[in-house]
Structure 1
Amino acid sequence: MEFDLAKTVLVFAALVAVGTAALVGAPIPMTSSTILMMVTPSMIVFGAICLALGVKHGEYRTAR
């Protein structure tokens, strides 16, 4: 399966949405506003950094 930009963004958004929904639905002592205002943005930033590193590593591997 080849990933283009649209598929990558769709999978990334789905992962963040599933993670956020699981945290909101979990019986943990954290309010939904805390999850939506602090946890979800950090999930997005961390995921974007990991995605960028993965893409660069893939480019390095194919160029070798």
Structure 2
Amino acid sequence: TPLVPVVYRINMRDPNSLFTTQAFRMRNRDLIYVSNAPFTEVSKVLSVFTSVTGPVSSVATAYYYAK
């Protein structure tokens, strides 16, 4: 019989998850995926925003002091 893939989603902020995951048996070809923390996604958006607004701010500052 073919094996059916099973996906587990675990919140590692919950202390009970640590005990739950200790019971998992890893097998050959198993995969563990760890996603980014929510703050990492916010940081990515802010870095894109800063990369656009930074040069504009620099030009505006240079123009202000050049007057």
Give TM-score, length-normalised by structure 1. 0.39
Larger radius of gyration: 2
